[in-house]
Amino acid sequence: MSGSLQAASSNLLVLGTVADRLPAGTAFHVFASTGDLPAFNPDLDVEPAPEAVARWRAELAAADAVVVATPEYAHSYPGHLKNALDWVVGSGELVDKPVLLITAGPGGGVKAREALSPVLKVISSDLVGAISIAAVRQKYDGTELVDADALALVDQGLAALVAAASARSTPEA
């Protein structure tokens, strides 16, 4: 999921890189509709859930793992991303789900990572990694990430994510 609603977001570029570097045959979908979710209100958190919320929850439930790529706004992560996470606190779609957090932006989004990591943990997701990519736009040649250090971070994060998703889907003997 992208933590940015901007059409030309660098975080969408990062998610494109993630899609390109996943093992062959791995399905990858970017949920780009977090901006369509209504503001969280416990009075609305009943069945049937609002349509956008039901779609959001269904996509998370169907995923074996989740990548969150987000910018930093005012020393935190965007409000719509918090809203999206609030909608799954009680329903549990992220409980034990492997999550890779990537923050990207001019300064790397370190404050966003520091703010979002505890939220992902308190909702019981399996946070397998949290990486930051500073000066992200300068590390791309058009739509391709060309910075070797950033690519290595993405690859390490994806290796941990794929391993966690595989372990979760493999029944114990």
Q: Give the model confidence (pLDDT) of 4-34 as tens digits.
A: 988 888 889 999 999 999 999 898 999 878 8
Contact 131, 101 (CB under 8 A): yes
- Preceding amide of 42 cis, omega within 30: no
| Other beta carbons less than 10 A from residue 14's beta carbon | 27
The reply to whether 173 falls in a domain is no
Confidence of residue 172 (pLDDT cuts 50, 70, 90): low
Confidence of residue 168 (pLDDT cuts 50, 70, 90): confident
Q: Which helix (H) or strand (E) holds 108?
A: none
102 CB-near residues (< 8 Å, 6+ apart): 11, 14, 18, 67, 68, 69, 70, 130, 131, 132, 133, 154, 157
The reply to whether 1 falls in a domain is no
Contact 56, 34 (CB under 8 A): yes
Number of domains in the chain: 1
The reply to whether 18 falls in a domain is yes
The reply to whether 155 falls in a domain is yes
CATH, residue 97: 3.40.50.360
Range of the domain at 22: 10-167
d(CA 117, CA 101): 8
The reply to whether 3 falls in a domain is no
pLDDT at residue 37 in the model: 96
The reply to whether 32 falls in a domain is yes
Strands 126-134 and 98-105: parallel
61-93 confidence digits (pLDDT tens) = 999 999 999 999 999 999 999 999 999 999 999
Average pLDDT over residues 95-109: 95
- pLDDT at residue 171 tops 90: no
Contact 171, 144 (CB under 8 A): no
Instruction: Tell me which long-range contacts 39-47 makes (C-beta under 8 A, separation of at least 24).
Output: 39/83, 40/83, 40/86, 40/87, 45/87, 45/90, 45/91
The reply to whether 2 falls in a domain is no
The reply to whether 172 falls in a domain is no
- pLDDT at residue 173 tops 60: no
Is the entire prediction scored with pTM above 0.85? yes
- pLDDT at residue 119 tops 60: yes
